[in-house]
Amino acid sequence: MKYRKPLLFIALGLFGVYTIEFGVVGILPVIIERFHITTAQAGFLVSSFALIIALFGPFMVLLMSRFNRKRIMTMSLFVFAVTSLLSAYTSNFYLLVILRIIPALFHPVYFSLAFVAATALYPPEKATQASAKAFLGTSMGMVLGIPITAYIANQFSYEASFWFTAVANGIAGIGILFMLPDTPQAEMFSYRKQLGILRKIPLWLNIGAATFIFAAMFSVYSYSAEYLGQNTGMSRDVISFLLIIFGIGGMLGNLLAGKLMGLHKVRTALFHPVVLGGTYLLLYGISSSFIPTLFIIIVWGAVHTSGLIVAQIWVIDEAKEAPAFANSLYISFINLGVSLGSLAGGWFIARAGIQGTLWSGLFFAMLALVCIGSKVIYPRIFRKYKNLEVQN
C-alpha cells in the first residue's frame, strides 16, 4: 500500500525521538563514570528533557504551525541526528545538557506534526488506526529505547549508543523527505483560532484524563525493575528479559487499542483506566513462578502501552480544528503526568513499601476515570443548563 512507506518513516522518527528522551536512562552509569558526576546530576539529563517539553511544547508548535509540515518534520529529525552525534563526542557535561535541551524543544513539534501527517495519509474512517500504527514507534522508543541503548553501550561503547539514535533519526528524516507527500499546509489557522480551543471545558477534562492516565502508568512503571526484583526474586537478566516482553505486549496492545478506539471511542476510553487498575491488582499477586509472571507482564505491557493511543485520541477528539496544537498540549501534559506519577510513586513507596507504587497507580487511574466520566456526562449537563436558561 502506498501509505505504508511514509508511515514507516514517521514511526521510525517517533522511535528515534523517544529513544533520545528515555534511552539515556540505560546509560546513566556510563555517563556518571565518563563525566565524574553524581547520580542526581546525571538524572537531570532526564528531568530537564521532560521539563522543556512540558514548558515550551505548545509554544514551539504554535511557532512552527505556519511553515510547511514536511520540511519542519524533516528539519526536526536532522536536529535530533546532529545533536546525538555531537553528544557522542562532547567531553563537557554541561554541553551535554544543552545538547539535550535542543532536541527537547523540537520533540513536541515532530510529535504533533507526525500524527497529523499520519492521519492525513488515510481516509477519515481509518484515522485512529493510522495513529495506532504510528504510535508503534512511540511505544518502542519508550519501552525498548532503554535496554537497546544500554546493550549497545555495554557491548560496544558510549559513542555507539548515540550513533544508534543519530542513524535512526537520520534514516527517518531522509525517508520522510523522499516518501511523504508534500501536501498543502494544514496549519494555516491563525494563532488566535488555535488558542481558541483552550476555552473548551471538555478539552480540559480530556487533558486531565490523559495526565492522570500517564501518572498512573508511570507511578508503577518507573519502579518496575525494583518492584519485580523484590517480589519475584528473579535475577537482573531475567527482569530485563521480562521488560522486553513487556514492550512486545505493549506493541500488540497499542494496535488493539487503536482498533477499539476506532470502533467504540467512549467505551474504550472509559474501560481503559478500569483495566489499568485491574492490572495493578494482578501485579499485587505476582510471585516467583515464571509462567504466571510472564502472563501478567504481557497483559501489563498491553494495557500500559495502550494508554498512549487512548489518551492521545481522547484529547485530539475534542480539538479537531487545531490537531497539531492539541497534540502539543497532549505531549506537554503527559510529560507532566510522567513527572507527577514518578514523584507520587516514590512518595507512596516511602510510606507503604514497594507495594505503595501500585496504590499510587490505582489512585491516578481512578482520577482518570472521573475525568472521562465527567466528559461523557458534560454535554447532558450543559444541554440541561441551556434548556433551563431558555425556560427562564
Q: How many CA atoms lie within 13 A of 360 on its CB side?
A: 30
156 alpha-carbon distance from chain centroid: 28
How far is 367 from 341, CA to CA, in rounded Å?
Answer: 12
50-92: pLDDT as tens digits: 788 888 888 888 888 778 888 999 999 999 999 999 999 998 9
Question: What's the confidence (pLDDT) of residue 122?
Answer: 77
User: Which domains, and CATH codes, for the chain?
Assistant: 1-182 (1.20.1250.20), 193-391 (1.20.1250.20)
Question: What's the confidence (pLDDT) of residue 389?
Answer: 41
16-37: pLDDT as tens digits: 988 888 788 778 778 888 999 8
Give the residue with greater pLDDT, 195 vs 252: 252
Question: What's the confidence (pLDDT) of residue 63?
Answer: 84
358 alpha-carbon distance from chain centroid: 20
How far is 214 from 238, CA to CA, in rounded Å?
Answer: 26
353-362 average pLDDT score: 90
Res. 3: pLDDT tops 60: no
The CA distances from residue 33 to 39, 42, 164, in Å, are 10, 10, 21
126-162: pLDDT as tens digits: 766 777 777 677 777 876 777 788 788 878 899 999 9
Choice among 5-19, 270-284, 353-367 with the minimum mean pLDDT: 5-19
Question: What's the confidence (pLDDT) of residue 290?
Answer: 84
pTM of the full structure: 0.75
